[in-house]
Amino acid sequence: MKTKVGIVGYGNLGRGVEKVLQYHDDLELVGIFTRRDPDSLDTASRAYHMDALEKKTNDIDVLILCGGSATDIPETAHMYAKNFSTVDCYDNHRDMPNHFKRMNEAATGGENVSIIGTGWDPGVFSVQKLYSEALLPNGESYTFWGPGLSQGHSDAVRRLDGVKLAAQYTMPSSEMIKEIEDGRDVSYDKFSSHHRVVYVVLEEGADADIVRESIITMPDYFEPYETEVHFISESEYNKNHTQLRHGGHVIRRGYTGDNTHTYKTTLDLDSNPEFTASVAVACARAAKRFMDARQFGAKSIFDIPPMYLLNESRESLIERLL
Ligand code: NDP
């Protein structure tokens, strides 16, 4: 029997999940749930208003929560976790321990499973950091994001009063990456090794100075990064700022005696939301496996046995990949 998946929220990520599900024979899309008029969504899939969810508890195995991290996920995810198993792509690293706690209480109480913080960062990068630190304990780690458009940061800017459209680019220090690759010592912290560039289309009558100040002082997302804010027209935005490319590198340099080992993971993504959705969908399969094993509660990506991510038996995986 196929695992039945619901999508909550139909933005970039929701559309990505809808697209990615077609590549998984063991998963099926039951429906898309939105706060908007479902008939207004441009989709051939079944779409429902969010209010219809409460009657669907028996029809859905896993809900993939595709709302924004700025407010949707912290305010609503735990409510879904009471009645459904969930997967989310929450990306507020600093709030993750609180999010885990909220989701664990809700999911445990409802005998559900909630896999939190999936995607590529947090998500795939987090796993690579764990592996590289475990394998090379004597060393140092570096993470670089971009150049690319960050959906989470763009979403956070779009939620500000006076902002009509926004695109936020994360720019890594290419000089520093080169220095690390050349084996030179660098003074790395994630703030000084990146800067942020924001393009904003203002609502009519909005005050640019107030919007700029709200962006550059936004804790966790922008403060203390060096941030440039540019105000542009809607036509320029539509012409130059609608691509969703992203990626980055996780690098660990480790030492055993005089020998140096470099463990590097690179993601080069044509579509940030479609790759993020790809991770969330594989994690939806894992959530069902946890449910079948009655291992309820919140799980991080570290808690997922790698075998839970693929629709394949242990025997076949050992034969094919070990
Ligand atoms: P969007 O802004 O596209 O969508 C967020 C929500 O807004 C949707 O769920 C939808 O809810 C609503 N919405 C979307 N389009 C419209 C519209 N035209 N009018 C009104 N409401 C709309 O965000 P993304 O999908 O790009 O990103 C979602 C989150 O994914 C980000 O906040 C980010 O945190 C996370 N993310 C995580 C990554 C990771 O690696 N962990 C990587 C990339 C993203 P509804 O349908 O209910 O209206």
Question: What is the pLDDT tens value at each position of the chain, 322 positions in all?
Answer: 999 999 999 999 999 999 999 999 999 999 999 999 999 999 999 999 999 999 999 999 999 999 999 899 999 999 999 999 999 999 999 999 999 999 999 999 999 999 999 999 999 999 999 999 999 999 999 999 998 998 889 989 999 999 999 999 999 998 898 888 888 888 888 888 999 999 999 999 999 999 999 999 999 899 999 999 999 999 999 999 998 899 999 999 999 999 999 999 999 999 999 999 999 999 999 999 999 999 999 999 999 999 999 999 999 999 999 9
pLDDT at res. 55: 95
Q: Would you say 255 is a known binding-site residue?
A: no
Ligand 1, from 7, 13, 121: best to mutate by most atoms within 8 Å of Cβ? 13
Tokens at 255, concatenated: 């030492």
Would you say 43 and 51 are in contact if contact means Cβ atoms under 8 Å apart?
no
Q: Is 69 left (phi over 0), alpha (psi -120 to 50) or beta?
A: alpha
In whole angstroms, give the CA distance from residue 119 to residue 301. Answer: 9
What distance in Å separates the CA atoms of residue 118 and residue 280, rounded to the nearest whole number? 6
Tell me the CA–centroid distance for residue 257 and ligand 1, in Å: 47
Distance between Cα 66 and ligand 1 center (Å)? 6
pLDDT digits (tens, 9 = 90+) for 100-143: 999 999 999 999 999 999 999 999 999 999 999 999 999 999 99
The Å distance, Cα 65 to ligand 1 centre, comes to 9
For residue 60, count other CB atoms closer than 10 A to its CB.
18
pLDDT score recorded for residue 185 = 84
> For position 34, what pLDDT does the model report?
98
Q: What is the CATH number of domain 3-121+273-321?
A: 3.40.50.720
Strand partners, 197: 169, 228
Residue 50 CA, closest ligand 1 atom number: 47
The three state secondary structure string of the chain is CCEEEEEECCCHHHHHHHHHHHHCCCEEEEEEEECCCHHHCCCCCCEEEHHHHHHHCCCCCEEEECCCCCCHHHHHHHHHHHHCEEEECCCCHHHHHHHHHHHHHHHHHCCCEEECCCCECCEHHHHHHHHHHHHCCCEEEEEEECCEECHHHHHHHHCCCCEEEEEEEEEECHHHHHHHHCCCCCCCCCCCCEEEEEEEEECCCCCHHHHHHHHHCCECCCECCEEEEEECCHHHHHHHCCCCCEEEEEEEEEEECCEEEEEEEEEEECCHHHHHHHHHHHHHHHHHHHHHCCCCEEECHHHCCHHHHCCCCHHHHHHHHC
Q: Which residues contact 133 (CB under 8 A, 6 or more apart)?
A: 141, 252
Closest atom of ligand 1 to CA, residue 10: 46
Supply the CATH classification number for the domain 124-271: 3.30.360.10
Q: Which atom of ligand 1 is nearest to the CA of 70?
A: 32
> From CA 11, how far away is CA 17, in angstroms rounded?
10
Atom of ligand 1 nearest to the CA of 15: 25
- Residue 233 class from Cβ within 10 Å (0-12 exposed, 13-18 middle, 19+ buried)? exposed
Centroid of ligand 1 to alpha carbon of 263 (angstroms)? 32
How far is residue 146 from each of residues 68, 143, 249, 267, 277, measured CA to CA in Å? 20, 10, 8, 9, 18
Whose alpha carbon is nearest atom 44 of ligand 1? 151
This prediction's pTM: 0.90
- 36 assigned ligand-binding residue: yes
Find the 17 Cα to ligand 1 centroid distance in Å. Answer: 12
Q: Which residue in this structure is represented by tokens 């991290």?
A: 69
294 C-alpha vs ligand 1 centroid, how far in Å?
30
Of ligand 1's atoms, which has the minimum distance to the CA of residue 118?
41
Interaxial angle between packed helices 72-83 and 96-109, expressed in degrees from 0 to 180 and rounded to the nearest 10: 20
- Rounded CA gap, 115 and 89, in Å? 9
pLDDT at site 243: 86
Report pLDDT for 180. Answer: 86
ipTM reported for the complex surpasses 0.95: yes
Contact status, residue 304 vs residue 115, Cβ threshold 8 Å: yes
Q: Which residues line ligand 1 (CB under 6 A)?
A: 9-14, 34-36, 66-69, 89, 91, 119-123, 151-152, 155, 272-273, 276
The alpha carbon of 10 and the centre of ligand 1 are apart by a number of angstroms equal to 7
Residue ranges, comma separated, of all CATH 3.30.360.10 domains in the chain are 124-271
Q: Which residues make up the CATH 3.40.50.720 domain(s) of the chain?
A: 3-121+273-321
Q: Which residue, by CA, sits nearest to atom 39 of ligand 1?
A: 119
The answer on whether 246 is annotated among ligand-binding residues is yes
